[in-house]
Amino acid sequence: MAVLELRHLRYLLAVAEHGHFTRAAEELHISQPTLSQQIKQLERTLGVQLLDRTGRTVRLTDAGAVYTDHARRALRDLAAAERAVHDVQSLSRGHLRLGATPTFTAYLIGPLTAELHTRHPGISLTLTEMTQDRIEAALLADDLDLGIAFAGPHPPGITATSLFTETLSLVTGTPRPRTTPGPLPVHTLQDEQLALLSDDFATRSHIDAYFTRHRTAPRIAVEANSIQALTEIVRRAPLATVLPDAITHDHPHLTPVPLDPPLPSRTVTLLHRDGAYRSAATRAFTELTHDLVRTRGYTPPQSHHEPAPTQQRITA
């Protein structure tokens, strides 16, 4: 009887993903006949047909669908086992895979990376900026160790630990003369020209919902898909924007203007997969993240139990 090897699982998963032997073979850097032979060998070993080859594309049989589900989990667990074996408790070396939604790269990721390098220079970091739903999917697939995003709802298998409360304000490039003290009434923005994040950001959905709730429709003069672009635009043009207060703390040329009623706050969380192996690097990063949040004076979470908002989530 042929011996089942890990490559057989990887070959099957590649064919299942591409639905095509040729494309899967190209990805695996082997010939198409070799790949086909190896899959047939796997089917003979198991005594079942895993792939339906009769259509225009190759599809999993019912048995193949069940088997690939277990194969993915087996390969994921083996990869976690390898990381656990090579994990160094002294933190003289290690690796961390972190996902973050785009807003946080503007004010949080830089200080976190600097602190990680200062405390543990032997730990390397792979940072990926992605949408919150992709972060959660990557955590469940064991493609990430940690994620930084907003409070739920989260899919089963994801645990969120509250870090701080993110508040937002109207932001201008230079202080503007005010006729009355205190927060700016939201209805006065009716004739204001704003530069905002584009509507593929969840933060934009958050802002739009606020304006809709208070029956205010400012003119959106500029839309941008970059925080950096917004800060430069507002600094140089007579436009206002809406940004997290933490960003204005790091940019002295930006002036936050509180609104009445205030923009709704959001809870920032650290995400991980339930039951995932927590390497020394993961534990160290978790600890320094909580330390940095405290030392930078971010607003503490409103409660230990995160809310479950129903607002649309796209990026951040």
CA-wise closest residue to 209 among 196, 221, 222: 196
Distance CA 216, CA 247 (A): 25
Contacts 24+ apart (CB under 8 A), 85-92: 87/279, 87/280, 87/281, 88/122, 88/280, 89/280, 90/280, 91/120, 91/122, 91/123, 91/280, 91/281, 91/284, 92/122
How many whole angstroms separate alpha carbon 296 and alpha carbon 213?
32
DSSP 242-281: EEEHHHHHT-TT-EEE-EESPPPPEEEEEEEETT----HH
Contact 104, 148 (CB under 8 A): yes
For 227, the token pair is 């925080």
199 secondary structure, DSSP code:
T
All structural domains of the chain: 6-85 (1.10.10.10), 87-166+266-295 (3.40.190.10), 168-260 (3.40.190.290)
Q: List the Cα angle 31/32/37 in 5-degree steps.
A: 100
What local confidence, expressed as pLDDT, does residue 192 receive? Answer: 86
Task: Give residue 205's Cα distance to chain centre.
Answer: 17
Residue-by-residue pLDDT tens, the chain, 316 positions: 456 788 889 999 999 999 989 999 999 999 999 999 999 989 888 889 999 988 888 999 999 999 999 998 888 888 777 766 666 666 777 899 999 988 898 899 999 999 999 999 999 999 999 889 999 999 999 899 999 999 978 999 999 999 999 999 999 987 766 666 789 999 999 888 999 998 878 788 889 999 999 999 999 999 998 888 999 999 899 999 999 998 888 888 899 999 999 999 999 999 999 988 888 899 999 999 999 999 998 889 875 443 333 334 444 5
pLDDT of residue 86: 67
**What is the distance between the alpha carbons of residues 140 and 159, in angstroms, rounded to a whole number?**
11
Structure-block tokens of residue 126: 């792979």
Q: What is the pLDDT of residue 314?
A: 44
Q: Identify any residues that bridge with 119 across adjacent strands, giving them in sequence order.
A: none
Burial (Cβ within 10 Å: 0-12, 13-18, ≥19) of residue 187: exposed
List, for residues 58-73, the tens digit of each pLDDT value: 999 999 999 999 998 8
Q: How confident is the model at residue 115, as a pLDDT? A: 95
- State the Cα–Cα distance between residues 172 and 234, nearest whole angstrom: 6
